[in-house]
Amino acid sequence: MDTENDIPRHIAIIMDGNGRWANTRGLPRGEGHRVGAESVREAVETCRQIGVDYLTLFAFSSENWNRPKKEINSLMKLLERFLRDKLPEMLQQNVRLHAIGRLDMLPDSCRKEIDQAIKKTRNNTGLNLILALSYGSREEIVDATRNIALKVASGELTPEDIDPALFSDHLYTSQFPDPDLLIRTSGELRISNFLLWQISYSEIVISPKNWPDFRNADLRAAIGEYAQRNRRFGKV
């Protein structure tokens, strides 16, 4: 990684394998999520150190609401604790927090911690940390389409106004550039309803490691692999 172009401006990560990590060790699934939070801390620190501008983490999907209620409650409490404990670090390290998804579905106590962290870090100018919570890309696309349709119906837009740029402006991610690099852990070869529109030209790196085992060296290796890619965007 010798040039500025070797560093992706925006990295998105599907943090998969917490449950499997715990199961292989005979531990409760919640322990996998707890140790996975340490991998989040390392990913944030690594991205901050090397100059990544945006890091989007798939923290809780819209499909995750179908998990056992006990596990969901544990995940929400872990998220609250993570935000509360890491807020001083985010302030010290100039990290700005954002959240995308159908956030109204989250528990009130969780929303309170998210809103507070977003408010307190809004003037930070370093790494933008984006948590995808209660997030599903199909739902995001449906929400964008509905909003555009309402504007057409009201006369604010015409059908001829609709193009890829306008559509992007109605997504949850409208204020962020598209990811340059998508990383998925646990070796699974699927996208899982994550940023389907935004990753059209993202480079994809799959790690066989489960998320709790994915640390600084693994992230740097994925970025090193990205730096070897020739991004043509459809050109020769």
Confidence of residue 2 (pLDDT cuts 50, 70, 90): very low
Confidence of residue 230 (pLDDT cuts 50, 70, 90): confident
For the stretch 111-158, pLDDT in tens is 999 999 999 999 999 999 999 999 999 999 999 999 999 999 999 999
Please report how the helices 216-227 and 29-50 are oriented relative to each other, as an axis angle in degrees rounded to 10: 50
Confidence of residue 236 (pLDDT cuts 50, 70, 90): low
For the stretch 8-47, pLDDT in tens is 999 999 999 999 999 999 999 999 999 999 999 999 999 9
- Of 55, 51, 74, the closest CA to residue 14 belongs to 55
pLDDT of residue 188: 96
Share of the chain above pLDDT 90, in %: 94
Checking if the pLDDT of 4 tops 70, the result is: no
**Burial bucket for residue 160 (CB in 10 Å: 0-12, 13-18, 19+):** exposed
CATH class as words, domain 4-136+178-227 = alpha beta
Q: Please write down the HEC assignment for all residues of 92-133.
A: HCCCEEEEECCHHHCCHHHHHHHHHHHHHHCCCCCCEEEEEE
Residues 58 and 12 sit within 8 Å (Cβ to Cβ): yes
* 103 Cβ neighbours under 8 A, 6+ residues apart: 111, 114, 133, 134
Distance (Å, whole) CA 100 – CA 3 = 31
Strand, coil or helix: 212: helix
Confidence of residue 1 (pLDDT cuts 50, 70, 90): very low
pLDDT of residue 87: 96
Q: Give strand ranges (E) for the chain.
A: 10-14, 54-61, 96-100, 128-135, 181-184, 203-206
Lookup result for tokens 């989040």: 40
Q: Which residues of 70-98 are buried (b: 16+ CB within 10 A; e: fewer)?
A: eeeebbbebbbebbeebbeebeebebbbb
For the stretch 155-204, pLDDT in tens is 999 999 999 999 999 999 999 999 999 999 999 999 999 999 999 999 99
pLDDT of residue 231: 79
Mean pLDDT of all residues in 82-94 = 95
pLDDT of residue 153: 98
Mean pLDDT of all residues in 206-228 = 97
Checking if the pLDDT of 76 tops 90, the result is: yes
pLDDT of residue 59: 96
Question: How open is the CA angle 229-231-232, to the nearest 5 degrees?
Answer: 140
Mean pLDDT of all residues in 64-85 = 94
Q: Which residues have a catalytic role annotated?
A: 16, 64
What is the DSSP pairing of strand 203-206 with strand 128-135?
unpaired
pLDDT of residue 115: 97
